[in-house]
Structure 1
């Protein structure tokens, strides 16, 4: 088989690494890929990002399966284009991808199908949004409606922070159109969990739970990022919590997908909040999370390619996933100044000393050297019988890596109340 993976981040590197384990895969093309995928087994980078050009490439190279990593091409309709050309692709249709492409659409979908979520109000008029702030209880959450690379959620502790957030989104337009419509949402107090899942439109199979660490600084301080590290499984996701999630969120979501007649064969990511009042749905993503993928896929014992093909064949009702009895810890190294302003172009050293798996997010291969090219640069992932063991291995390894301005959180996986807490 020949496989095409669309995307250039750590998630795509992890997917390429995982599917390379399948003996039927002869060649993996990563479009455009990165410095990590360039060195991965069976992989070759191709410098293509335009959807029409990807269709041409898939036809020319007789690609057997295309896997879409990031959300943007899904929202743009890459799946519809590939299917129109009789090309096999894994991902939701353009209509289904609106569950991530529009926060307003997603919240209205949750409300329509009785899915437990935070109270919210929608605004297209900045003055009306500012007026609403006078009636709010704080803290409050303000979200850009469109895609903002995981950075479009702002928690505001008071009215003044709310005004600043609304002005940045709707007046300064910092997300280039994505924040011109906004959702102002009730703040939920609790613990977040990420549950990646796979669906064929008839069945949803949840993956092992995980916990992302979104904020840039230790202690969950500083601005939101695309993700600073992950542990899996999430120690707060007890059997009771997972049963509640399946009953109140997963089943209702599947019902909505069927009722709306969505063409949804792909990943569905549930971002949930575990509160004293129960489990709430924060958001949908219509693709694998980054960096959740880097922690979850190494724990998957089942063959990922076979799983995807079963989804495409609408055969998930007959599939049972197997997971390693291990814990995973993923620690992400970023460039100094990320997520606001950062420099790039620095040589990454010490990679030959890393003993566990390393996934590249933002680095290019230049003359056999990895050079930083993004904010999130790379992640080290380690497995252990306990979370403490996984954490120790991951931090031992990432301490061996160096580039100018390297920064990473020191508290990934340290959570109050966890049975795994050091």
Structure 2
């Protein structure tokens, strides 16, 4: 089979690596890809939102299956465009991807179908939002309604902070059009867990659990980022919690979407908060999480192409989803100053240390190949991942591996998976 992957980050590198292990795959293309993906796929200079060019390329190269990694093209309707041209594609259609594209939609869906989540209000006007916040309980959470690269969430401890938040999201348009509408949520406390699941519109099969670390600095301080590291499985995600979520969150969500005429096929990402009152949904995504994919996919036993095709064909119930009884930890190496201001173009040294290793991975996120070698080309540069017999071993190995790699403004959190010690 010829496979096309759309995207160019650490998630797409993890997907490409997993796809390359399939016995059915002969050729992998990636648009636009990155320097790491280039080692296992042919990268093509087509942007993820250039739907017509991607369709033309898929036809020209006789691509058998296109895998959409990113949120923007999914929410923009790339799956509908590919299907209209008779091309096989993995991911939800536009009317289903709205579950990530609009936080207001997803909150309303959960409310309507009694899927456990935080109390909330939605506002189209900054003036109305400010009025509501005058009498709200703090801390409180402000969320830009649309896509904001995982950064459109502000936790406000005081009315003054919330006022600044409304201004930056709705008036200053810090996250662009995503801030035209605002969701204000109650602040929940507890452990966060991410669960990715394969879906075929009626059946949903969750993968192993993971936990992301969103804040830029140690101790969960600093700004929200696209993710600074993750580990899998979560020791806090018990069988009891899994049983509850399978019934009242995962299947309930797929059933709700079907009832709304929005059959969901692809990857459903459920961000959960394990509160004192039970698990509640923080957010949905309509694709693999990043960096969650970088710890979940290395632990997956199945041929990923078999599973994706079963989803497209509506026969996911036939597939027993299996994971290795091990653990994985990913530490993101970022550019100093991320997620705000940072420099790019620094040569990365030490990547050869990962070659020919089956328990260490350097997933490229923001890299570029130049005449000088591979250089940094983004805020998140690499996802250094290691597997081990348990979380402690995987964490030790991952942090050791971060020292194999050097570039001028390298920055990382030092406490990824520290919660493991408390479990």
After TM superposition, is the score higher than 0.5?
Answer: yes
CA distance in 1: counterparts of 2:303 and 2:372, whole angstroms:
31
CA displacement at 1:264 relative to structure 2: 2.1
CA contact (8 A) 2:144 2:153 kept: yes
| TM-score in terms of structure 2 length | 0.97
CA contact (8 A) 2:31 2:46 kept: yes
Counterpart position of 1:157: 157
Secondary structure, counterpart of 2:404 in structure 1: coil
Work out the number of aligned pairs and report it: 417
Structure 2 alignment gaps of length 5 or more: none
Counterpart position of 2:231: 231
CA distance in 1: counterparts of 2:127 and 2:152, whole angstroms:
20
CA contact (8 A) 2:270 2:284 kept: yes
1:355-377 per-position Cα deviation (integer Å, ceiling 9, x unaligned)? 51110000011137211000000
Counterpart position of 2:94: 94
Counterpart position of 1:313: 313
Q: Determine whether 1:304 maps to 2:308.
A: no
CA displacement at 1:417 relative to structure 2: 7.0
Counterpart position of 2:394: 390
CA displacement at 1:141 relative to structure 2: 0.3
Counterpart position of 2:212: 212
Provide the alpha-carbon RMSD of the alignment.
1.0
Q: Determine whether 1:404 maps to 2:402.
A: no
Secondary structure, counterpart of 1:178 in structure 2: helix
For residue 375 of structure 2, the aligned residue among 371, 377, 402 is 371
Q: 1:416 to 1:138 in 2, by over 3 A?
A: farther
Counterpart position of 1:103: 103
CA displacement at 1:416 relative to structure 2: 6.7
1:99-136 per-position Cα deviation (integer Å, ceiling 9, x unaligned)? 00001011011111110110100111111111111111
Secondary structure, counterpart of 2:362 in structure 1: strand
Counterpart position of 2:289: 289
CA distance in 1: counterparts of 2:135 and 2:24, whole angstroms:
59
Counterpart position of 2:340: 340
CA distance in 1: counterparts of 2:13 and 2:372, whole angstroms:
17
1:259-298 aligned within 5 A: 259-298=259-298
Counterpart position of 1:194: 194
Secondary structure, counterpart of 1:289 in structure 2: coil
CA contact (8 A) 1:38 1:365 kept: no
CA contact (8 A) 1:235 1:418 kept: no
CA distance in 1: counterparts of 2:420 and 2:29, whole angstroms:
42
| TM-score in terms of structure 1 length | 0.97
Q: 1:393 to 1:176 in 2, by over 3 A?
A: same
CA distance in 2: counterparts of 1:312 and 1:251, whole angstroms:
18
Counterpart position of 2:122: 122
Counterpart position of 2:242: 242
Counterpart position of 1:350: 350
Counterpart position of 2:46: 48
Secondary structure, counterpart of 1:281 in structure 2: strand
CA displacement at 1:263 relative to structure 2: 3.6
CA displacement at 1:278 relative to structure 2: 0.5
CA distance in 2: counterparts of 1:106 and 1:406, whole angstroms:
37
CA distance in 2: counterparts of 1:119 and 1:163, whole angstroms:
20
Structure 1 alignment gaps of length 5 or more: none
